[in-house]
Amino acid sequence: MKKEQLSISLPVFGTQYDSVPFSQFSTIDFKEVIEKAIETSLKEVTLIANNYKPATFENTIKALTYSRLRVDRLTSILFNLNSAESTDRLQQQAQAVSPLLSDYTSNIRLNALLFKRIKLVYKQREQLGLSGEQLTLVEKTYKDFVRNGALLRNRKNRLREIDKELAFLKLKFSENLLSENQLYMEHITDPSEVKGIPLYALEMAKEEAIKRNVDGWIFTLSFPLYTAVLKYADNRKLREKLFIAYHSRCTHNNLYNNNKIVLQIASLRRERSRLLGHENYATFVLEERMAETPEIVQVFLNKLLKDTLPKAKEELDTLKNFAEKHKENTPNYDGSFQQWDFAYYAEKLKQQEYHIDDNLLKPYLFLDKAVQGMFAVANKLYGLHFQVTHEVEVYHPEVEVYVVTNTIGDYIGLLYTDFFPRAGKRNGAWMTTYKNQYIDLEGYNSRPHVSIVCNFTRPTTTEPSLLTFNELTTLFHEFGHALHGLLSNITYPNLSGTNVARDFVELPSQLMEHWCYEEKALQLFAYHYQTGEPLPIEWVQKIKAAGKFMENILTLRQLNFGFLDMAWHNIKNNHEINSVKYIEETVSLTKELYPTTKEVCISNSFSHIFSGGYAAGYYSYKWSEVLADHTFKIFKDRGIFNKEIALHFKNEVLSKGCSEKEKTLYERFINLYP
């Protein structure tokens, strides 16, 4: 494919499954091809806006929906690569493209002639004989324009400026965090200082040292290494160093400090919301969420806090007593229980109470087998088959691609998997798409391309990739998102898959985690990677029991993130947005349990709300958890592989995207099982 061919209007690459030709994009100037796609799209939008014929669903709403497919496809490639395989070149191109996209979106949403036609269709929508999905598309299109300035008489230019600046700041926040993660390292040469750390983590740290041509071990903020140190290192000073380094990222006096960026993002979001008639960003965002208002979110969080905090304090007292009894075995423990002591002593107490720990479990959680087990669960529930293919290009040699089909062999979509940390890849785990599902203009069901990206323990010279139990649940979590994308089966691309409210999108993902605790599911894949012996049945019961271990302290941590998010976005006055530390200290729940650590400042690395899509929405994890627990109970009571329930869940939730209100979708499913 020649470079200039990428500027054609149709979002088709001419490859098998219409997959991304990554090798072509390794030398392509994204700015150039996206500019051409934007130019073509805006020409189509102008034709729609200037159409002399009366506005209809077909010639206005539907036409507009399909006008940006090419732009969306290209930008998804750029920004997905910038997260999973970033380079200086990609970062520069993302920075160059970001303002183009902001202008492009503003040029559409602030087009008065176009909005006039949309408004006409919206006003007549009940008399047009539209399907439920078409009606939803009309309403969402109208609201999207209104919520992005279409009704503004003045200050449209200021809205443009804000959107452009926010796009740049969010991108810069993310790039700073990636650079800061890569910058930090702790070099150790004395074997006595790494006692307690498991062999797999020491081998990872040794490989890091070899890369840098030094002796000993290099500990980075790569999540598998970081968690291994916090959980197992007897060296308390090392735990403290890594904990503080991780929780103070982008706060230092260097190029990657996000302090000003955080304040600017929060201030601009509030200004933007007030331009559009809302008190603040939380009221603006929640208007379109299941929770609806900041007051409902605060009540929800406060109720959880009231239930959780006393129990969390009891759990911590138990842990403190345990630590005190064992302090002679821990260098430097002075009786002052700190945040970097929690994971270490919690793991030791868990081992004592349940006689199980990740090091015992890991040999049974071989990544390759876990992936096959995950696929087997999806097969039992939804009749899906996953066949690895080498005919589809990938962006890195470690990425694998699976062709997904149903029970009768129909093509469902592509699933990309990318599991290991590396330079240029941001921390964490996420699901994303390279192509949404939709029915194209010729009536063909264009199937989705979905990717799950993680940072699991990578293979070492002596062992394959063996997962911690937390990594196993992360794998199933992201796969739940992937199923939501893959099983989408509606008409319009901007309503499909995971394009749903944030407090609903975590339902499928958190639901899938439940299968990790079920014996019948574990029997599909949990075998010792060397001996082939199955995971002992008595361990399964211990895993389920240990799943509730210290759950209130962990819940309090999640609530802390939720309250911090709301503090940034439920602001009443601009003067509140003048100090990151002030916001943090005002809402911090950690002070209820631990001594204050002055270096800790999580806002500057809180990517979910400052560069991701969870601003004024981090509460969604706990909100969706309630929905997921209720849903799994239906399976649990009738069989965890009950195909009838799975079919209903697929038909009423997973396949529907946001073609109806999320509350309607959920209640329709739940009401089948009173």
CA-to-CA distance for 640 and 378, rounded, in angstroms? 12
Mean pLDDT of 308-327: 93
- Rounded to whole angstroms, the Cα distance separating 607 from 174 reads 7
d(CA 652, CA 657): 10
> Rounded CA gap, 346 and 340, in Å?
11
Backbone angles phi, psi at 605, to 5 degrees: -125, 15
Nearest to 542, CA basis, from 298, 312, 352, 330 = 352
Task: Please give the average per-residue pLDDT across 618-639, as a whole number.
Answer: 96
Joined together, the tokens standing for residue 45 give 């939008």
Summarize the confidence of residues 570-575 as an average pLDDT.
Answer: 77
pLDDT at 9 (0 to 100): 39
End-to-end CA distance of the chain: 55
* 331: confidence class by pLDDT, cuts 50, 70, 90: low
**For residues 236 and 244, is the Cβ–Cβ distance under 8 A?**
no
Cβ atoms within 10 Å of 586's Cβ, excluding its own: 12
User: Catalytic pick from 208, 315, 347, 478?
Assistant: 478
Is pLDDT of 512 > 90? yes
Contact in structure between 194 and 400 (CB atoms under 8 Å): no
Residues 6+ positions from 482 with CB-CB distance below 8 Å: 415, 431, 450, 451, 452
Average pLDDT over all residues of the chain = 93
387-396: average pLDDT: 96
The sign of the torsion formed by the CA atoms of 372, 375, 377, 383 equals: negative
**For 401, left (φ over 0), alpha (ψ -120 to 50), or beta?**
beta
Quick one: pLDDT at residue 608? 96
Q: Is the per-residue pLDDT at 8 higher than 80?
A: no
How far apart, in whole angstroms, are the C-alpha atoms of residue 229 and residue 248? 17
| Per-residue confidence band for 13, with pLDDT thresholds at 50, 70 and 90 | confident
- Residue 540, pLDDT > 90, answer no
Pairing verdict, β 430-435 and 445-446: unpaired
Query: How far is CA 642 from each of CA 59, 114, 522, rounded to the nearest angstrom?
Result: 44, 48, 16
Are 438 and 446 in contact by the 8 Å Cβ rule? The answer is yes
pLDDT tens figures, 517-539: 999 999 999 999 999 999 998 89
Domain 366-549, classified CATH 1.10.1370.40, yes or no? yes
Largest CA distance in the chain: 84
Q: Above 80 in pLDDT, residue 341?
A: yes
Lowest mean pLDDT, pick from 226-230, 331-335, 370-374: 331-335
Residue type, 33: V
- Lowest-confidence region among 123-132, 332-341, 596-605, 608-617: 332-341
Structure confidence at residue 332 (pLDDT): 73
Q: Quick check: is 347 catalytic?
A: no
Decide: helix, strand or coil at residue 404.
strand
Q: Token pair 């176009």 is at which residue?
A: 114
Is the pLDDT score of 153 beyond 90? no
CB atoms within 10 A of CB 280: 24
Q: Which tokens hold the place of 222?
A: 């790569």
> How many CA atoms lie within 13 Å of 130's alpha carbon, on the beta-carbon side?
22
For residue 91, how many C-alpha atoms fall within 13 Å in the half-sphere facing its CB?
17
Which band of pLDDT confidence, cut at 50, 70 and 90, is reported for residue 575?
A: low
Nearest C-alpha neighbor of 374 from the set 438, 417, 312: 417
89: its two tokens: 């070149």
Burial string for 607-634 (b: 16+ CB within 10 Å, else e) reads bbbbbbebbbbbbbbbbbbebbeebbeb
- Pair of tokens at residue 412: 């469902």
* Nearest one of 53, 49, 178, 39 to 113, comparing CA atoms: 49
Chain-centroid distance, C-alpha 298: 23
How does strand 430-435 pair with strand 449-453? antiparallel
Pairing type for strands 430-435 and 411-418 reads unpaired
pLDDT at site 93 = 94
pLDDT higher than threshold 70 for residue 412: yes
Handedness of CA 101, 103, 106, 112 (dihedral sign): negative
Residue 210's pLDDT is: 95
How far apart, in whole angstroms, are the C-alpha atoms of residue 484 and residue 503? 14
Domain with CATH 1.10.1370.40 in the chain: 3-151, 366-549
Tell me what pLDDT residue 11 has.
Answer: 56
Here the tokens at position 344 are: 């270490």
pLDDT tens figures, 251-279: 999 999 999 999 999 999 999 999 999 99
- C-alpha span between 452 and 433 (Å, rounded): 9
* Token reading at 648: 């209903």
The C-alpha angle 245, 247, 253, rounded to 5 degrees, equals: 60
Res 5: pLDDT = 31
| Predicted pLDDT of residue 574 | 65
| Arithmetic mean of pLDDT, 66-85 | 95
Residue 4 confidence (pLDDT) above 60 = no
Instruction: Kindly report the backbone phi and psi dihedral angles of residue 201, in degrees, each rounded to the nearest multiple of 5, phi listed first.
Output: -75, -40
* Residue closest to 594 by CA, chosen among 390, 413, 418, 340: 340
Distance CA 582, CA 601 (A): 10
CATH of domain 3-151: 1.10.1370.40
- C-beta of residue 269 within 8 angstroms of C-beta of residue 281: yes
Residue 568 CB partners (closer than 8 Å, separation 6+) = 262, 266, 583, 603, 609, 615
Weakest mean pLDDT among 284-293, 340-349, 508-517, 541-550: 541-550
Q: What is the pLDDT of residue 190?
A: 96
Residue 547: the pLDDT is: 85
| For residues 549-566, average pLDDT | 96
d(CA 611, CA 342): 28
Q: What six digits make up the tokens of 133? A: 């999905």
Alpha helices, DSSP H only, in 223-338?
223-232, 236-246, 259-275, 281-286, 294-325
CA atoms within 13 A on the CB side of 232: 19
Residues 402, 415: Cα–Cα separation, whole Å: 5
